[in-house]
Chain A
Amino acid sequence: MKNRLINRRAVLRGAGGVALALPLLEMMRPARALSATAPVGKRFIVMYSPNGTIAENWRPSGTEKNFTLSPILSPLTEHQADLTVIQGLNLKADAKGDGHQDGIAGFLTGDKLNPGEFRGGAGSSGWARNISLDQRVAREIGADTRFASLEFGVQVRDATVWHRISYLGGDQPLPPESDPTRALARIFGNAVAADPSIVTRRLAQKKSMLDTVIDDFTDFNPKLGQSDRAKLDAHLTALRDIEKRLSIVTPASCQAPNLGALPNLFLNDSYPALGRLQLDLLATSLACNLTRVASVLWSRAASRTRFTWLGINDEHHSLSHAGDGDTAARDSLTKINTWYAGQFAYLIGKLKSFPEGAGTVFDNCVALWGNELGKGNNHSHDDAPFVLAGSAGGHFQTGRYLQYHGEPHNNLLLSLLLSMGAQATSFGNPEWCTGPLVGLA
């Protein structure tokens, strides 16, 4: 029986795992960028927080290069020189669903929703219809790492358009991992030192298995419609990607963070502790060069988290719909957004704690913090709050406060894509993108 599978594996001759054939040795090479000579790569990070902000307490005061951070952004003061605060952009979004739904889908895709069947809180619509910026960036800089990108969530408990920011393409939402224990096992699992011969055998087995399955897809051809075909293509692509990245092992120098006792995943009050663990995992994944693209999604659009640790018992979403004259609610919303700024500051600090080259991992990062809304109580996407941290390896001049007048946020997304070395003239819905954000780069 002549079979190409056999031929392909002939090089692995030598039962008992003694004779290592060349392809296997190649498999064991460490992640490329960690070797001393390899260039250090840029990294792209996104942090999303929900339900809009209080613009008056978010906007810094002063001029582009001489400004004072607002109450909400005050936790970022120690990193002010590394920030670009971007005020006045309109988050371009669909108008099919409710404002949260349209906004979270448009946040990173800069595009509308597909038709679909989400009727949960609003009209009928589907997932976002385009690739999200983080995934577009992953195509540029994510090929050589163990993971093209990593998606983290903090109490993202459901799986609808309100719970997703990342899309591989239209109708291909990427679920975040909300369980730090599982995230740890997935990301750092193979760093556990084991008997090298066992590791080698497992790897060879896995490769045989994936080869067989990928081959299996070639004549799997039930009577499918177009969307089913697309689904299977995405599945096959994912398998090919796993196979391709089998060769990248976690470097032994990489220290997985110690999670300690895991807080209850479902309790409202676990939110800060779970978030902290996820930020630690995210930063360490980047520092270990296991990925160069990572995002963290807090809760969901229209989040009902209760910030009891700030003395706030009302649900965030209910608060976000209080009237403009409700000073108590505005105080609470200011506190909540300030708390999220603190989380962003923690992430920045964490990235700065990992030395790399002559500086730190942070030097090669740009992190975007955004929201699905500008204003919560009327679901407005205008004047949406965006903050960048980091220069993306010197691409952006930081320590600036930039004010705009309703430019589409697609322009910011395009500028970020260009900062990662991509060639592009537009991002997202071309009708909404008028070019890179003037004055940013």
Chain B
Amino acid sequence: MLPHAADPISGGAPGQCGTRDPGPAPIRRLTRSEYNRTVHDLLGDETKPAAGFIPEEMSLGFNNNANALSVSPILAEQYVDAAEGLAARAVRSPESLMRCGPSGVDDACVERFIRDFTRFAFRRPLLDTELQRYLSAYSATKANLGLQSALEVVVGSVLLSPRFLYRAEHGDPTTEKNGIVRLTSWETASRLSYQLWGSMPDRELFEAADRNQLSTPAEVELQARRMLSGAYAMEVVADFQSQWLELDQIETLEKDPTVYPDFSSRLARLLAGESRAFLDHVTWHEPNGFAELFTANYSFMPPELAAFYGAPMPMAGGVQRVDLPADQRAGILTQAGLLALHAHANQSSPVHRGKFVRQRLLCQTLPPPPANLVIKAPDLDPKLTTRERFAQHSVDPTCGGCHQLMDPVGLGFENYDAAGRWRSRENDKPIDASGNLLQIDVAGSFNGAVELGRKLSESNDVQACFCTQWFRYANGRAETEADACSLAALQARLKAAGGNLPELVVALTQTDSFLYRRTQQP
């Protein structure tokens, strides 16, 4: 039975979201980091074998989009190699792997091991046909190649199974109503563990599933809150943020050394580290992390980086909180790593910066430039500022239609050069960092990125997009029309929680899309 009316979340505004719809749920394949954490938790293996796998296909800026991910021949090979290596390491000592006790490694013990191991690997109770398959493989291989090989074959086969590599769901057919079912407790346990931890369920989740204590939203929420304090939760939130803001590209960023001789690979690494430390802080230590993202006039850095920012030097070495000039820096958008990322190697790029705000912060799609039009970026000119050079875009109607959405936003960042450093003049002319926001609830003019950050922090549209980005990451898919209620519910929860970021992570487990499943998938 669906506890429909009793659910705390059935959608956004009452009356509009009466019909429950979880949207589509394509099959999810483990990402590289999920694979590494899972084999660590399952086998204690710390070699991170998936680090060498082919990177996931990207869609909407995320690497876990179920529709985009596929298993290419090279990845299938890498799975085989990884499974062989993991199995060989795990089976090196059959006694310690199987803990057979005084009776030694006998058939009964091996059967018990296969049952337990496979159950954990598949994250649910084992079917008899499945058990038989591995027992058969075991006895056949043992007869030919001996115990060690037989165990390796079993462990390796389980790690190559689609039941391990994918998160397959059937739902609980006894709860079916209007083509919507609840998930089984084990499926819910896996959704929780992969969404919050990027790994398999822990013992407590397994036990809760065994006792069928993951069937109400309240029970799910209770587990989600417990899980927030785990170290993996921090990693997963960090992973979302890195992908959302494209931060993982900062570390390997390079600049044209003839223009920015000081921009070293060491600096790039420090800038990446700064953004990471800042985001960790606002996520886990600020009550209104959402607003802090765009308004904080402090960050976290070693003295070397404080010098780069022209901030008062911290007393000691090491990474610490540093107050930044309040008229120059406010939140993530003014951090040099992000600014340098969205710039050319030798000059700032209002277009890239404006596009970043449109696509990542407002979830908007920009059409491609018209075909067969010469798309000419303005030439560098030692007599002109970037703003003067880009004036053409607003004059030419074939460009202006789209560029009016990007350039006037990006030009608000002109106080930061392509390395992210503050500048008040360019080519001996004063910087004009006035900007204009269109097609947003906080539309209007602004002056500089500090004011832009404040406007964005107050925008419902930015908040809605932030929830949408989290929804995409958590559900491994794009939002659909059916998800309007789930999305509205997320935003309502984030607002009600005063912008507290971990509350949104909990809220994601309370939506229709998390708790239910359609019986028919497209």
Residues in chain A within 8 A of chain B (CB atoms): 1, 3, 5-6, 9, 12-17, 95-99, 101, 116-124, 148, 151, 158-160, 168, 171-175, 177, 182, 186, 201-202, 204-206, 208-213, 215-217, 219-220, 222-228, 231-232, 234-235, 238-239, 241-242, 266-268, 304, 306, 313-315, 318, 321-324, 326, 377-380
Q: Can you spell out 26 A-B residue pairs with CB atoms less than 8 angstroms apart?
A: A3-B132, A3-B136, A5-B137, A13-B143, A16-B146, A117-B65, A122-B368, A123-B365, A159-B58, A172-B70, A201-B145, A209-B157, A210-B80, A212-B134, A212-B153, A216-B160, A222-B170, A225-B521, A234-B71, A238-B73, A267-B265, A314-B256, A321-B375, A324-B374, A326-B379, A378-B373
Assess the A315–B344 pair: CB atoms within 8 A: yes
Cα distance A225–B26 when bound, in Å? 7
Assess the B522–A226 pair: CB atoms within 8 A: yes
Q: Told that A226-B522, A321-B376 touch, could you supply 10 new A-B pairs with CB distance under 8 A?
A: A3-B132, A101-B368, A117-B68, A117-B478, A204-B144, A212-B137, A216-B130, A241-B73, A242-B76, A318-B377
Pick the contact of A124 from B130, B161, B365 — CB < 8 Å? B365
Interface flags, B241-280, vs A, CB<8A=1, else 0? 0000000000010101011000001000000000000000
Q: Which residues of chain A have C-beta atoms less than 8 A from B65's C-beta?
A: 117
Q: Can you name the residue of chain B whose Cβ is closest to the Cβ of A19? A: B144
Interface flags, B130-174, vs A, CB<8A=1, else 0? 101111110111011110010011001100111100101111000
Q: Can you name the residue of chain A whose Cβ is closest to the Cβ of B379? A: A326
Cα distance A122–B368 when bound, in Å? 4
Cα distance A121–B402 when bound, in Å? 12
- The distance from the CB of A329 to the nearest CB of chain B, in whole angstroms, is 8
Q: Can you name the residue of chain B whose Cβ is closest to the Cβ of A246? A: B80
Cα distance A124–B479 when bound, in Å? 14
- The distance from the CB of B354 to the nearest CB of chain A, in whole angstroms, is 13
Cα distance A134–B458 when bound, in Å? 52
Cα distance A219–B132 when bound, in Å? 13
Q: Which residues of chain B have C-beta atoms less than 8 A from A174's C-beta?
A: 72-74
Assess the B374–A121 pair: CB atoms within 8 A: no
Quick check: is B207 within 8 A (CB to CB) of the other chain? no
Q: Which residues of chain B have C-beta atoms less than 8 A from A202's C-beta?
A: 84
Cα distance A116–B134 when bound, in Å? 39
Quick check: is B519 within 8 A (CB to CB) of the other chain? yes
Assess the A148–B156 pair: CB atoms within 8 A: no
Q: Which residues of chain A have C-beta atoms less than 8 A from B136's C-beta?
A: 1, 3, 5-6
Cα distance A171–B74 when bound, in Å? 16
Cα distance A101–B377 when bound, in Å? 19
Knowing A174-B74, A238-B72, A314-B346, the reply to whether A321 touches B377 (Cβ < 8 A) is yes
Assess the A378–B58 pair: CB atoms within 8 A: no
Assess the B346–A227 pair: CB atoms within 8 A: no
Quick check: is B1 within 8 A (CB to CB) of the other chain? no
- The distance from the CB of B22 to the nearest CB of chain A, in whole angstroms, is 13
The 8 closest A-B pairs by CB, nearest first: A225-B521, A238-B76, A222-B168, A122-B368, A235-B71, A212-B157, A98-B368, A266-B252
Quick check: is B24 within 8 A (CB to CB) of the other chain? yes
Assess the A231–B371 pair: CB atoms within 8 A: no
Q: Can you name the residue of chain A whose Cβ is closest to the Cβ of B146? A: A15
Assess the A223–B519 pair: CB atoms within 8 A: yes
Q: Which residues of chain B have C-beta atoms less than 8 A from A326's C-beta?
A: 379
Cα distance A228–B521 when bound, in Å? 9
Q: What is the count of residue pairs linking A and B with beta-carbon distances less than 8 angstroms?
A: 250
Q: Which residues of chain A have C-beta atoms less than 8 A from B377's C-beta?
A: 318, 321-322
Quick check: is B67 within 8 A (CB to CB) of the other chain? yes
Cα distance A222–B28 when bound, in Å? 12
Within 8 A of A (CB), among B483-522: 519-522
Which among B48-56, B208-216, B227-235, B434-442 touches the partner chain? B48-56
Q: Which residues of chain A have C-beta atoms less than 8 A from B134's C-beta?
A: 212
Pick the contact of B132 from A1, A118, A209, A239 — CB < 8 Å? A1
Knowing A99-B371, A213-B157, the reply to whether A116 touches B59 (Cβ < 8 A) is yes
Q: Which residues of chain A have C-beta atoms less than 8 A from B367's C-beta?
A: 122-123
Quick check: is B288 within 8 A (CB to CB) of the other chain? no
- The distance from the CB of A76 to the nearest CB of chain B, in whole angstroms, is 29
Q: Can you name the residue of chain B whose Cβ is closest to the Cβ of A243? A: B80
Assess the A159–B345 pair: CB atoms within 8 A: no
Cα distance A234–B149 when bound, in Å? 28
Assess the A173–B375 pair: CB atoms within 8 A: no
Q: Which of A202, A212, A220 has the most CB of B within 10 A?
A: A212
Q: Which residues of chain B have C-beta atoms less than 8 A from A241's C-beta?
A: 73, 76
Assess the A116–B54 pair: CB atoms within 8 A: no
Cα distance A172–B375 when bound, in Å? 31
Assess the A315–B345 pair: CB atoms within 8 A: yes
Q: Can you name the residue of chain B whose Cβ is closest to the Cβ of A211? A: B137
Quick check: is B61 within 8 A (CB to CB) of the other chain? yes
Q: Which residues of chain B have C-beta atoms less than 8 A from A171's C-beta?
A: 70
Q: Which residues of chain B have C-beta atoms less than 8 A from A123's C-beta?
A: 365, 367-368
Assess the A223–B171 pair: CB atoms within 8 A: yes
Pick the contact of A206 from B80, B166, B265, B346 — CB < 8 Å? B80
Q: Can you name the residue of chain A whose Cβ is closest to the Cβ of B167? A: A222
Pick the contact of A323 from B160, B346, B374 — CB < 8 Å? B374
Q: Which of B146, B346, B368 has the most CB of A within 10 A?
A: B368
Interface flags, B7-44, vs A, CB<8A=1, else 0? 00000000000000000101100000000000000000
Q: Which residues of chain A have C-beta atoms less than 8 A from B399's C-beta?
A: none
- The distance from the CB of B365 to the nearest CB of chain A, in whole angstroms, is 5
Assess the A119–B365 pair: CB atoms within 8 A: yes
Q: Which residues of chain A have C-beta atoms less than 8 A from B103's C-beta?
A: none
Cα distance A214–B55 when bound, in Å? 24
Q: Can you name the residue of chain B whose Cβ is closest to the Cβ of A7? A: B140
- The distance from the CB of B175 to the nearest CB of chain A, in whole angstroms, is 14
Q: Which residues of chain B have C-beta atoms less than 8 A from A12's C-beta?
A: 144-145
Cα distance A219–B84 when bound, in Å? 23
Cα distance A323–B76 when bound, in Å? 45
Quick check: is B336 within 8 A (CB to CB) of the other chain? no
Assess the B376–A173 pair: CB atoms within 8 A: no
Cα distance A404–B342 when bound, in Å? 41
Cα distance A120–B246 when bound, in Å? 12
Assess the B55–A13 pair: CB atoms within 8 A: no
Assess the B70–A209 pair: CB atoms within 8 A: no
Q: Which residues of chain A have C-beta atoms less than 8 A from B368's C-beta?
A: 96-99, 101, 121-123
Q: Which residues of chain B have C-beta atoms less than 8 A from A9's C-beta?
A: 140-141, 143-144
Pick the contact of B140 from A5, A186, A216 — CB < 8 Å? A5
Assess the B55–A175 pair: CB atoms within 8 A: yes
Assess the A15–B144 pair: CB atoms within 8 A: yes
Q: Which residues of chain B have C-beta atoms less than 8 A from A6's C-beta?
A: 136, 139-140
Cα distance A314–B344 when bound, in Å? 9
Q: Can you name the residue of chain A whose Cβ is closest to the Cβ of B478? A: A117
Q: Which residues of chain B have C-beta atoms less than 8 A from A216's C-beta?
A: 130, 133, 157, 160-163
Interface flags, B68-93, vs A, CB<8A=1, else 0? 11111111110010011000000000
Cα distance A321–B369 when bound, in Å? 12
Q: Can you name the residue of chain A whose Cβ is closest to the Cβ of B28? A: A228
Q: Which residues of chain A have C-beta atoms less than 8 A from B156's C-beta?
A: 205, 209
Cα distance A382–B144 when bound, in Å? 62
Q: Which residues of chain A have C-beta atoms less than 8 A from B58's C-beta?
A: 158-160
Assess the B372–A378 pair: CB atoms within 8 A: yes
Assess the B129–A377 pair: CB atoms within 8 A: no
- The distance from the CB of A306 to the nearest CB of chain B, in whole angstroms, is 6
Assess the A215–B133 pair: CB atoms within 8 A: yes
Q: Can you name the residue of chain B whose Cβ is closest to the Cβ of A236? A: B162
Q: Which residues of chain A have C-beta atoms less than 8 A from B74's C-beta?
A: 151, 174-175, 177, 186
Cα distance A238–B143 when bound, in Å? 29
Q: Which residues of chain A have C-beta atoms less than 8 A from B170's C-beta?
A: 222-223
Q: Can you name the residue of chain B whose Cβ is closest to the Cβ of A231? A: B70
Q: Can you name the residue of chain A whose Cβ is closest to the Cβ of B253? A: A266
Quick check: is B2 within 8 A (CB to CB) of the other chain? no
Assess the B160–A175 pair: CB atoms within 8 A: no
Pick the contact of B27 from A1, A224, A378 — CB < 8 Å? A224
Q: Can you name the residue of chain B whose Cβ is closest to the Cβ of A189? A: B81
Quick check: is B443 within 8 A (CB to CB) of the other chain? no
Q: Can you name the residue of chain A whose Cβ is closest to the Cβ of B169? A: A222
